[in-house]
Structure 1
């Protein structure tokens, strides 16, 4: 069924009084937007409005993709309030998830969209244009890493490989053989290593060392907070208990 036939058919249907919204997709045309993708947008829009049986497709304008959506008079007030909340980032979780899904479609399709009231040029909801991915960046600088030594070894003449498990993932490092024997007793223990790394930024803006050469390291004590406090109290330093410290930290954050 062509878009023209759909437009004629839906406009011939009797509609109750109410309000009309226009969902405008750019830079699509009825010839370039597949029926499958249109259905995905329409399904997500139904979740945005929330009153599936009271929202009707009134037409699709020729030459562009503008969906005219007629709202039954009985739910206009509810939908206006719902859209106003969504415009501020509030509103039902299902509707916010649907907006996120529409934005993901637009990112994949390279498009933008707005939802407007038919009698008002101001957008009720604006779906932002997808941000271009950040260009890859690589920098070399001194840094330090905290991690658990998972593996230590290799057959290099001057360097061995150290595999660290850190809070940003597993990182493979180089270590001079003269330092390897010193680190060996700390296999499967936590250490803090200092050295020179090549840090690369992902398109999502996260930094990760693609390589890291360890110059020095220090063992870390994985003793828990309660154990540390108990040891300090045994020295007569007058330290409070862990619950008091946790309460104080929460008060500072609040």
Structure 2
């Protein structure tokens, strides 16, 4: 039942307009969920679902789609969203999703965020930055820079520049994400420091 609740939670986010979307029943079959969309919201829910695999899809919609597909994969299942007449609106390949190769590059980059964690006892000190989207980026700084960054703990955003490992793979939604960076410099609104 808890797994079913996880699917329902993600489906509610996928459909949007939760005030107009209701769980109706589980039909016979593997787990055929039947949702009811109130008449006044049908057009907006359908157009939202048709955005999923387009460049115009908002990040939350794309993320929810990948969450559902990612749940189906280990459950060895596939899924579809169909109109009442049976027309396919959206497919989830789930278990049939091709395995995507993970790419890793080492490259200079820039990370912006608020220092949310800092500490360690070695020559390189772990520093975690949380960006505006809530993504946490893990960096390393030398002890001098870490000492200066600690003054910005949970306060002003900083911009860290340096070399890092960047990954793109199965759970990155086609985007590059930072795995770990070595901070070479940082700046705030008022000053910058190069190490």
Structure having the higher Rg: 1
TM-score by length of 2: 0.50
Q: Which protein is richer in helix relative to its size?
A: 1
TM-score by length of 1: 0.39
